[in-house]
Homo-oligomer: A and B are copies of this chain.
Amino acid sequence: MRQMTSRARPVPTAILPSNDMRVFNFSAGPAMLPEEVLQQARDEMLDWRASGMSVMEMSHRGKEFTSIAATAEADLRELLAIAPNYKVLFLQGGATSQFAMVPMNLLRGRKVADYVHTGEWAKKAIAEARRFCSVNIAASAENCNFTYAPRQETWKLSADAAYVHYTGNETIGGVEFHWIPDTGAVPLVCDLSSSLLSGPLEVSKFGLIYAGAQKNIGPAGLTIVIVREDLIGHAPASTPSMFDYKIHADNGSMYNTPPTYAVYIAGLVFQWLKRGGGLAQMERINAAKAQLLYDLLDQSRFYHSPVDKRDRSRMNIPFTLKDANLDEEFLRQADQHGLVQLKGHRSVGGMRASVYNAMPVEGVRTLVQFMREFERRHG
């Protein structure tokens, strides 16, 4: 276990932080990025490939940045095997903007949309959609405090819904859909902010997928939208240009200046994923990482996972201590061991370990070892 004595040091002036300085950061997002990606970004900061410029300084219409953006899109398409009839958009405004853009663009004259209510993020999507249409709650896990993903046989879909929306992975509750709903001809829309790129995905099952970048993709300020072409071009004339998918699609995500540096970092992450064997390999690693932690939670009487075993997230793992009075001490000691950002979301309390792609297996092993030791001393 690496001791984080470096945390007490003054601001380092050295150019190259040693690996010992880095912590294992279990933040739900913005979150850890692959160290290789950060190293490359550091090395290219003042001069990208002998261009004499930082990527941050490049005109988005120049040959350097347009090649960066085109490569990023091509790599993302390759990783997810996205068919040509889907547009990939690099936007701003996070999932919160998508909560509005989805109804504004996809209602296509209809009055109703179906939403599955699975927790904090579904709730926000629903509240925003209600500004634009009538929302039918097709299913809700509220009866069990949002600790499971409602089976499709319980869903009550509307006859005339413009689309069906669900939250693929609830970042706060730690509930993940490990299956894709079948909504027939009605477009399926999914918020995959905290699980996109954690494994392979059958994109063709969806009408639209969106994800804020700040979990598995890159820095905050970039949002990925993958949308089937026939769903583009239906926004009413009163829609702000920035909220119209067609305008972004027609302009190759460069209707206005895109968040260029975030696109560049996401591109480095895509290349890191490809070097590592793609999403099938990433899924194996993520399953193994999550298993390490869930095994501990299941074996222990000191720690508890509130989520239904079938629907446990591989990305966000909430857990509680037997005695909530020990929470502060747990966090304090974890921090001393270089295990940071383990505090659960303020709306649910307890702990949460977010273990996105960039969290090394070593980080989870270190956490598990620390948790066993903490249980031994305080259990």
Interface residues of A (CB under 8 A from B): 4, 6-17, 21-23, 25, 27-33, 35, 38-39, 41-43, 45-47, 49-54, 56-60, 62, 92-97, 99-101, 104, 128, 131-132, 212, 214, 218-222, 237-243, 255-262, 265, 338, 340-341
Contacts and interface: CB of A to CB of B under 8 A. Distances in A.
Contacts of A41: 45
B27 A259 contact: no
Contacts of A97: 92-93, 240, 242, 256
A237 B127 CA distance: 12
Contacts of A257: 29-30, 94, 212, 214, 220-221
A260 B38 contact: no
A48 to B, nearest CB: 9
Total copies of the chain = 2
Nearest to A48: B11
B12 A221 contact: no
Contact of A46 (B4, B21, B221): B21
Contact of A47 (B22, B56, B96, B214): B22
B265 A262 contact: no
Contact of A219 (B10, B259, B338, B341): B259
Contacts of A56: 30, 33, 38, 218-220, 265
Contacts of A260: 30, 214, 219-221
Contacts of A14: 43
- Judged by DSSP, the binding face of A is loop
B50 A12 contact: yes
A43 B25 contact: no
Nearest to A27: B59
Given A38-B45, A46-B17, A240-B104, A261 B221 contact: yes
A111 to B, nearest CB: 15
Given A128-B240, A221-B221, A221-B261, A22 B52 contact: yes
Contact of A259 (B12, B221, B340): B221
A281 to B, nearest CB: 23
Given A15-B15, A28-B59, A56-B38, A240 B100 contact: yes
A59 B29 contact: yes
9 contacts: A8-B50, A9-B50, A15-B42, A27-B58, A27-B62, A33-B57, A99-B241, A221-B257, A221-B258
Most buried by B among A128, A222, A242: A242
Given A96-B241, A221-B257, 20 more contacts: A7-B52, A8-B50, A12-B47, A21-B46, A21-B47, A21-B52, A22-B52, A27-B59, A33-B57, A56-B219, A92-B259, A97-B256, A99-B241, A100-B240, A100-B241, A101-B240, A131-B237, A131-B239, A219-B259, A240-B243
Contacts of A58: 27, 30
B35 A46 contact: yes
Given A23-B51, A25-B53, A49-B11, A131 B240 contact: yes
A156 to B, nearest CB: 27
Nearest to A132: B238
Contacts of A256: 93-97
